Amino acid sequence: MKIGQGLSDGALNVVHLPLCLFITISLSGLFSLAFKLGYMPIVISICIFLSVVLLVAIFTSKFHSMSLIGTRLSLAHISLTCLLGGVAVHPPPEIPIMMLWSISIIATTSIIISTIEIWLTEKVQYSSAFSQQLERQINGVLFFSIALFIYASGKVNEWVIAIGVINHATLFYTLIFPNHYKKPLKSWYPFLRLGMIIIITLALLPIITSQIALGFILISLGLCLAAGATEIRFSLVYNHIHKIRK
């Protein structure tokens, strides 16, 4: 949305965040009820939602009451991701096969929504500094959640969690130090991070063996490192560290 214009049809601002929270609670509640997970996934989903929104609001200098959060698709993407995050942090001792399929479908749905959302916001300019960072951090939560699910499924050891940590650390670093963030000019670049989420989601599918899952995870790790290396201005990072040492 350009300065001086009203809110475009289909664009949502931060006033709609309570609605997004309500959808998150509803979806988390239904999922927890369906698989008898108790109330903890719901509580964790709420905490994830509030934490991400507050952190982005704090570190985004252009945040205000009319800041855009994206489109109606953003509500679904954020809610589904927070649902996955809540279950991933507090999974059952043993994940049933039906639950694993459900998680895979939800993750795939969230990825599809995010893909459409990125394309749509670029076309119609339904984005702001707040919405762009919110999208990045939510996708980081999605990636990390899938990594946790893969570990919980027993396909690989706990090192897969480190990939999620590396990815989210990169995203969080560029949130805290926006001047160190170098936004790539290529129009296809936003889909690079989605690509690595898609690949790691394939590793989660119940029909994928541990050996094949390992291959997908390593490819996803390579894309994660490539994305981080492309986005961060390492010369500024070096100067920042050098000043701290002085």
What residue ranges of the chain have pLDDT lower than 70? 1-10, 61-66, 121-127, 184-190, 233-246
Helices (H), the chain: 17-35, 40-59, 72-89, 97-124, 129-153, 159-176, 190-204, 210-231, 234-245
pTM of the model as a whole: 0.87
Token couple for 76: 């679904």
Q: How many angstroms separate the CA atoms of 89 and 82, rounded?
A: 11
* The predicted structure's pLDDT at residue 31: 97
* The predicted structure's pLDDT at residue 69: 77
Let me know: does 148 contact 213? Beta carbons within 8 Å: no
Handedness of CA 213, 202, 147, 84 (dihedral sign): negative
Instruction: Tell me the sheet residues that pair with 12.
Output: 70
β-bridge pairing 68-71 and 11-13? antiparallel
Q: How many angstroms separate the CA atoms of 221 and 200, rounded?
A: 9
| Helix 17-35 / helix 97-124 crossing angle, nearest 10 deg | 160
Helices (H), 177-205: 190-204
* The predicted structure's pLDDT at residue 234: 56
